[in-house]
Amino acid sequence: MKKLLLISTITVAFLAGCAMTNPYASNSADSAIANAQAKYNKAHSEMVAWKNTKKILNQAKKLAKTDPKKATALANKAAYQAQTALTQSAEFEKTWRSAMPQ
């Protein structure tokens, strides 16, 4: 019984630990890449992604292991582009009709 309790405590602690931010995550590019990927996917599905965003994101993925600092910077750039594309699209959605010939 004691043993079982111990195991479950460890398991819970382990799961909680995973759910919390990994102290090493700041040194890894993974979360930045995941964030950029999600934003890019959204922009892409709405057909508003910019020309080079996917390329930048792919570069980030390539460098994730060897140069996490640079990979993070690239991923953040891709995320920024994708987010700007989405924000811009929402803004233009309000006004585009007024540009039509009347």
Partner 1 sequence: MLKRLAKIAIISMISGSIMFAANFNAQAEKDRHAFVNYFLKKFKNPVKNQAKYFPYVSIKEIKKDYIYPLSFQAFQDGSLSWYKPSKEQFAEINAFPPYEIPLDDGEALYKKPFANGKTYSSCFPNPAIKQNYPYYDTKKDEIITIGIAVNECRVKNGEKPLKYGKGDIAKVISYLAYKSRGQKINIKIPNANAAKAYEAGKKLFYKQRGYLAISCNECHVKGAGKRLRAEALSPALGATTQMPVYRIKWGGLGTLQRRLAGCVKDTGSEKPKMQSKPLKELAYFLTYMSNGMKLFGPDTRK
Which residues of the shown chain bind partner 1 in the complex (CB under 8 A)? Answer: 44, 47-51, 53-54, 81, 85, 88-89, 92-93, 96-97, 99-102
Largest CA distance in the chain: 80
What's the CA gap between 60 and 69, in Å, rounded?
A: 10
Least distance in Å: CB of 37 to partner 1? Answer: 15
Measured from the CB atom, is 18 or 100 closer to partner 1?
Answer: 100
Q: How far is the CB of 91 from partner 1 (least distance, A)?
A: 9
Residue closer to partner 1 by CB (options 4, 93) is 93
Q: Are 71 and 64 in contact (CB under 8 A)?
A: yes
Residue 23 beta carbon to partner 1: minimum distance, rounded to whole angstroms: 36
Task: Indicate the residue among 55 and 62 with the shorter CB distance to partner 1.
Answer: 55
Q: How far apart are CA 78 and CA 61, in angstroms?
A: 11
User: Burial, 59: exposed, middle or buried (Cβ in 10 Å; 0-12, 13-18, 19+)?
Assistant: middle
